[in-house]
Amino acid sequence: MAEVVLFHHAQGLTPGVVEFADALRQAGHTVHTPDLFDGRTFGSIEDGMAYATQLGFPGAVLERGAAAVADLPADLVYAGFSLGVLPAQHLAQTRPGARGALLCYSCVPVTEFGPAWPAELPVQVHGMDADPFFVGEGDIDAARELVAQAKDGELFLYPGDQHYFADSSLPSYDPEATALLTERVLGFLRTR
């Protein structure tokens, strides 16, 4: 079974993020859900990003992510939802021993954290095909570049325009897309 660190999105460690982590736990995986926002949650992406900016985004988010895994073993799968992709992708690319990366709703160019994606590091990227953030802000292009560099890289697009589609505690929740995402993530984790 895999050991996973799941970083939350800009609205914080919501009940929906915890529920997603619990689904992975029920399958036998160990899942850590660090709270990068010190217990605060937000009613909108904009409010959450305003708080992240107050903390010193993006540097503070990356620092808090690194601190969250400092005492954990090296052989982790790093997962992130949107804002949480930043520490997940950063740690997967730079912390020795990573077993994989699961990037949901977001992806940054691999050159943000090094010259290239580690070719042997498996990765899945998940997003909706009409999400104004994932598609409209170019994350889909970064995702295509990343999976092209990985020997075991997959990009999964789901029909729809919601950003946080796998967070059951938010209006953007899409149960069908979440079920497929969860199935694909569990398949990925079985081999890690």
State the DSSP string of 17-79.
Answer: HHHHHHHHHHTT-EEE---TTTT---SSHHHHHHHHHHHTTTHHHHHHHHHHHTTS-S--EEE
Chain segment 61-82, per-residue pLDDT in tens: 999 999 999 999 999 999 999 9
Nearest to 14 by CA among 153, 167, 128: 167
**Domain ranges, residue 132:** 3-190
Angle at 161 between CA 155 and CA 163, to 5 degrees: 70
The pTM assigned to this predicted structure is 0.97
Cα separation, 131 vs 140, whole angstroms: 10
Q: What is the mean pLDDT of residues 80-108?
A: 97
Q: What is the CATH number of the domain that holds 106?
A: 3.40.50.1820
Query: How many distinct structural domains can be found in the chain?
Result: 1
Chain segment 109-129, per-residue pLDDT in tens: 999 999 999 989 999 999 999
